[in-house]
Structure 1
Amino acid sequence: MNKKNTTIGLGTLVVLAVAILSILLGEDLTQFLPITGEPAGSSTANNSLPPEPAEWYDIYFTNPTCPPEEERTGGLDEIIANDILQAETRVDVAAFDLDAEPIVDALITLEERGIEVRVVTDEDNADLSSIRRLRRNGISVVEDKRRGLMHDKFVVIDGRFLWTGSMNLTTNGVYCNNNNIVRFDSPRLAANYTTEMDEMYNDRLFGPDSPDNTPNETLTIHGIQLENYFAPEKELAPVIARAVARAQDEILFMAFSFTDDQIGEAILGRADAGVSVRGVFETTGSDTEFSYYPIMQAARLSNLEVRTDGNPRIMHHKVIIIDRETVIFGSFNFTDSANRRNDENIVIVHDPVFTGFFVEEFETVWQEAQP
């Protein structure tokens, strides 16, 4: 999973050549080489982030069979917990909801080892027994203490490994609900989330008070372009609507909640232009007057088809797929509250291979959905 490519740079070859000449001539010619490296403790070295390895992401989707609680083993909660346990310096957790016991246990274990653990949660979920247990074991948990939601779901390990997606870190989120979560091995992407965590945990800045200072909003990893944004310091509905407006052939989406006019009208606009659109709505709330489910049904376009999901629990994805080449995912529901009040994040990946995994998940959810 964490393979690295080893390469020899031009500077290394020059040093080797000079060293060989030194041996042949009997003189130390290396003394004339310029010193270009930085000592390990220098500020330049600290500000330089290592490159991403060749295998820099793993994509996961839940299998929401919802077994009895005593039979809930072998899921993503255990995979994430095992990753957390590898931490050497610090783990940051921003979790709207957190009750997955393996993850809670892992965080407590790290605290006992002397590894720094920072946790942020939403005020509405701050009295959960799991949060109280973290606090009893010496872990400081910060609450947002406001009307809007701290709706992020991310984990940063050692400033390098990032877990983010739609999945709440709960037993139901793992075992009962349709969700996605991606593990990135990218110090540059992780730095964005560390910056967001610093704002919430250190500065107690949430919602509109949070500064728009993401260090790497756009980045390229092994030739693949990514975008990464945080709400509400940046309104994300216009970002998503602009991406949707560029669709040429097809739009696929899965939406736990979809009431935002900017995104909804952008999709309808592309459907009017002949772009094929298929979407799955979470059943709960899909029939309200503000939902785009009845609006899209009423459009009566042959190239626009929407369904309600077939999971008797929750279809919790927040995903838009554009032309099978770009995928948008994260914590961001397609609502005005997410756009203007809640702490949220999205990742946009422009790559057909990466996107293809989300297409497969869409087709699974689509087949289970109700026409």
Structure 2
Amino acid sequence: MAGKGRSPKGGKKPSWQRFLREWGIYLLIGAAIVAVFLFLGRGGGKANLATVTPYRVYFTQGELGHPRPAGLEAEIIADIAAASRGVELATPGLDLPQLAEALIAARARGVTVQVVEDLSRQEDPAVQEVAARLQESGIPVLWRSRLGESFLVIDARIAWVGSWDLSRRGLEEDAGLVLRCELVPLAADFHAEFTEMALEAFAGGFLRLPTAVKTPHPYLAIPDGPSLSVYRTPEDAALSGVLQALARAQDEILVLGELSDPRLAERLLAEASRSTMLTVWAVLGEGGSDPNLLRGLAERKVNLGLYTGPGRMYENVLVVDGQNVAIFSQPMAQEAYDRNDGYVLLVRDRELGQLLQRELARLYAGAKKAE
């Protein structure tokens, strides 16, 4: 896993030295995080303020969102190329050779690069090829089970997050939502998540730390702008805020993605029935959604479209009243929340809500055209 450098005497460095060089800092950081947060909750509810433009919004399909003339992968590679300290990447299966070369180039100029992937994708030939190339270049690739998220942290300053799969299929075929967030507190949240996963992966991929590393900044606020709450699965009660937002809906609920979680399905059906003033729109992936939910929505005359585009419907998003947005890192399934490492972002932002209204309109029109 480590590089092929040699000791001053010309022999290969012992494996333990190579491990300490690549992962020693993470062991120290992980131990410190566990010690500090062992007795802390979710940050005491205190908001962290940020004063920068919070994020760029990208969609893997269509023309909405931030411009990406050379493609979304090129946008990510540009950030990696500008990295000066560290890049942490977690994704189920990395099979993007150009992005891998950007990681290798970053390491060659002294940037610390670490990668965590999912054991279930380890046998995929394209994933194997990229992982081997990274390892040959001295970049550690650790494997763990039940990885239900994709994210990057760059220089402890930029976090790429969203409802997406960082893979060839995820960027070129699936319908996905990606946020590039230049928020130091949010980057710290995902650095803590990466550190925990890396420690568990090093222990064999199946180990869970006895006490989960807490999210350092679960509540983020931008003056005169959006606010964000970060929930991690399976550690946090990720659905509580989502269910409360649905129960308070007054005008409109939008649903995108694959939905089979019975708690969300029950709440959504209840809200669709309780008021003629409340409008529900949904574009769902048929393969990953509960058939009973689809029938129930149709019976309640909800504005329902079944996704017909290429790849998967991976924009797993709920929007309530045009401004309360829930972004899921994985399909909305109870087993995923209860078992997989993932996250849910609750964002209060009318501009983001309006952008997602336009995205739903695009997908809904495509679904109806295909009927």
Query: Normalising to structure 2: TM-score of the pair?
Result: 0.77
Q: State the AA in 2 paired with 1:134.
A: L
The corresponding residue for 2:90 is: 94
Structure whose alpha-carbon radius of gyration is higher:
1
Answer yes or no: is 1:125 the counterpart of 2:121.
Answer: yes
Answer yes or no: is 1:161 the counterpart of 2:158.
Answer: yes
1:45-60 equivalences in 2 (<5 Å):
52-60=50-58
Change (3 A) 1:122 1:233: same
Q: State the AA in 2 paired with 1:251.
A: I
Instruction: Return the offset for 1:63.
Output: 2.4
8 Å CA contact 2:113–2:139 kept in 1: the answer is yes
Partner Cα separation in structure 1 for residue 220 and residue 344 of structure 2: 14
Where does structure 1 differ by over 6 angstroms across 4 or more consecutive aligned residues? 205-208
Percent of paired sites with the same residue: 28
The corresponding residue for 1:187 is: 184
2:309 aligned counterpart, secondary structure: coil
The more displaced of 208-217 and 173-182 is 208-217
8 Å CA contact 2:193–2:213 kept in 1: the answer is no
Instruction: Return the offset for 1:203.
Output: 4.5
The corresponding residue for 1:294 is: 295
8 Å CA contact 1:64–1:176 kept in 2: the answer is no
Partner Cα separation in structure 1 for residue 122 and residue 213 of structure 2: 26
8 Å CA contact 2:255–2:282 kept in 1: the answer is yes
Change (3 A) 1:189 1:285: closer
Partner Cα separation in structure 2 for residue 248 and residue 175 of structure 1: 36
Change (3 A) 1:263 1:206: farther
Q: State the AA in 1 paired with 2:265.
A: G
Partner Cα separation in structure 2 for residue 351 and residue 185 of structure 1: 16
| Offset from partner CA, 1:119-168 (integer Å, 9 cap, x none) | 11110123422122211211111111x4xx20111001011101011221
Q: State the AA in 2 paired with 1:368.
A: G
User: 1:196 aligned to 193, 198, 211, which one?
Assistant: 193
The corresponding residue for 2:66 is: none
2:82 aligned counterpart, secondary structure: coil
Q: State the AA in 1 paired with 2:136.
A: R
Instruction: Return the offset for 1:354.
Output: 2.3
Answer yes or no: is 1:242 the counterpart of 2:244.
Answer: yes
2:101 aligned counterpart, secondary structure: helix
User: 1:327 aligned to 321, 325, 339, which one?
Assistant: 325
Q: State the AA in 2 paired with 1:334.
A: M
Partner Cα separation in structure 1 for residue 324 and residue 72 of structure 2: 25
Instruction: Return the offset for 1:187.
Output: 0.3
Q: State the AA in 2 paired with 1:216.
A: H
Partner Cα separation in structure 2 for residue 222 and residue 101 of structure 1: 40
1:305-324 equivalences in 2 (<5 Å):
305-324=303-322
| Offset from partner CA, 1:262-294 (integer Å, 9 cap, x none) | 1111111211222211111113244x65x6223
Partner Cα separation in structure 1 for residue 97 and residue 247 of structure 2: 42
In structure 1, list runs of 5 or more residues that go unmatched: 1-49, 66-72
8 Å CA contact 1:318–1:331 kept in 2: the answer is yes
Q: State the AA in 2 paired with 1:237.
A: L
Change (3 A) 1:273 1:153: same
User: 2:356 aligned to 343, 355, 358, which one?
Assistant: 358
Partner Cα separation in structure 1 for residue 161 and residue 174 of structure 2: 16
Q: State the AA in 1 paired with 2:228.
A: L
In structure 2, list runs of 5 or more residues that go unmatched: 1-47, 64-68
1:190-269 equivalences in 2 (<5 Å):
190-204=187-201, 209=209, 211=212, 213-223=214-224, 224-255=226-257, 257-269=258-270
Change (3 A) 1:296 1:151: same
Partner Cα separation in structure 1 for residue 306 and residue 80 of structure 2: 35
Instruction: Return the offset for 1:53.
Output: 4.7
1:358 aligned counterpart, secondary structure: helix
Instruction: Return the offset for 1:338.
Output: 1.4
Q: State the AA in 1 paired with 2:141.
A: V
Answer yes or no: is 1:175 the counterpart of 2:172.
Answer: yes
The corresponding residue for 1:136 is: 136
Partner Cα separation in structure 2 for residue 328 and residue 206 of structure 1: 29
